[in-house]
Amino acid sequence: MRKIAKIIIIILVILFVIILIDTAQAKILNNQPLIKIRYNRDGGNVDYVDKGILTYTYVFTNKEKVTVFRWEKYTPPKEENKTDDLPEENDIEGESNMNLNINVIIGGKTYKAELEENDTARNFINMLPQEYNMTELNGNEKYIYLDETLPTNSYSPKHIEKGDLMLYGNNCIVVFYKSFDTSYSYTKIGHIENLPDLGDKNINIKFEK
């Protein structure tokens, strides 16, 4: 029994040392973790994210890297807003009489969302219904890059509230499921009422009128 216990202790020590070395080389040297799961981000200025045991490494399209601990609050810098493809005003049907409330369906449960009275929200409503497989990021958000762009009026909210529905850049829909302070800019689409913690997995979210 003592021999087995020693073997178990040795294995645990080896695993601890491997994790420690991997985390140190990723964080201190700004390298990608050796033990990782890679998530590709379609569109935007982040090419992919390597999720290690204790770190996230963001690799940008310009090949620059940023490594942060999993518990750090980090949002990649946004792309420059592009307004060339904004829809004409008369392309937005009935915007003055549009119902700015939608349903958000997650895991079979329906949550009410009240949208902002802006062109971004109106264009988003005109796209519905839509169901997206949204990617987990930072332990506080789910995001999806759209094939089309939306009009923007970005600002820095300073603080994100749980349930905020935001546009990052001009084509990334973000659902925040935790509250935190931020220095980044978004265009607000609306707010989802009574949104629970959505966990650390990618999930399907359906938006409908």
Q: Is 183 exposed, middle or buried (0-12, 13-18, 19+ CB in 10 A)?
A: exposed
104 DSSP 8-state letter: E
Indicate whether 97 pLDDT > 80. no
Q: What percent of the chain has pLDDT over 90?
A: 49
Tokens representing 184 are 């980044």
**Tens-place pLDDT, residues 118-161:** 999 999 999 999 999 999 999 999 999 999 999 999 999 999 99
Spatial distance between the Cα atoms of 49 and 68, rounded to a whole number of angstroms? 11
d(CA 129, CA 166): 17
Distance separating alpha carbons of residues 183 and 145, to the nearest angstrom: 21
Least confident range from 47-56, 114-123, 192-201: namely 47-56
**pLDDT at 92 exceeding the cut of 50:** no
Cα–Cα distance, 151 to 85 (Å, whole number): 8
Q: What is the 3-state secondary structure (H, E, C) of the chain?
A: CHHHHHHHHHHHHHHHHHHHHHHHHHHCCCCCCCCEEEEECCCCCEEEEEEECCEEEEEECCCCEEEEECCCCCCCCCCCCCCCCCCCHHHCCCHHHCCCEEEEEECCEEEEEEECCCHHHHHHHHHCCEEEEEEEECCCEEEEECCCCCCCCCECCCEECCCEEEEECCCEEEEECCCEECCCCEEEEEEECCCCCCCCCCEEEEEEC
Which tokens belong to 194? 């009574």
Alpha-carbon dihedral of residues 169, 174, 179, 185, nearest 10 degrees?
10
Domains in the chain: ranges and CATH: 2-69 (no CATH), 98-208 (2.40.100.20)
Q: Please indicate, yes or no, whether the overall pTM of this predicted structure exceeds 0.75.
A: no
Segment 166-185, tens digit of pLDDT: 999 999 999 999 999 999 89
Q: Rounded to whole angstroms, how far apart are CA atoms 197 and 199?
A: 6
Determine which helix (DSSP H) or strand (DSSP E) holds 167, and give its type and residue range.
strand 164-168
